[in-house]
Amino acid sequence: MNTAWKAGIILSVFIAAAQCLNCRQCAIGIFGTCLFGKDVQCNNSTESCFRGEAQFNATGSLTLHIRGCLDSDLCGNTISGSFLGAGYTSSFECCTTDLCNGVASVQLSLTAALCAATLSFLMQ
């Protein structure tokens, strides 16, 4: 009987792990492009992936994009606040299927970035 309980617990852990939602995580994105994104597995309490925008009120034109895991009670909300004295407004759109919140990120290696900068300088 002891072995049956252990097997049941192990099976439950694997089923719970398989049920976790995978989302695209992006700490910062500019002009709709995620700069340093990765795929993450959300914890069991997180029910949604999200895409969010933070628009700074002073500039009006600078919008930062973020993505990741979010509790569903924050979905569809708009939040206002200030960061270093600058006012901002953030909104969140949610979805509930694996990787539903984004596309692959653009990641440049340091060598590629230096080559691009050098070519840009030489072409002037």
What pTM did the predictor assign?
Answer: 0.61
- Six-digit token pair at 116? 């691009």
CATH fold of 21-122 reads CD59 (2.10.60)
Strand pairing partners for 83?
86
What residues does each domain of the chain span?
Answer: 21-122
Q: Are 96 and 76 in contact (CB under 8 A)?
A: no
Strand pairing category for 63-70 and 48-56: antiparallel
d(CA 13, CA 15): 5
pLDDT one digit per residue (tens) for the chain, 124 residues: 566 545 444 434 334 444 689 999 998 888 777 888 899 999 877 789 999 988 887 766 678 889 999 988 889 999 999 878 888 888 999 999 999 998 644 444 444 444 455 555 555 6
Q: What is the mean pLDDT of the chain?
A: 74
Per-residue model confidence as pLDDT tens digits over 53-65: 888 877 666 788 8
Give the three-state DSSP class for 40.
strand
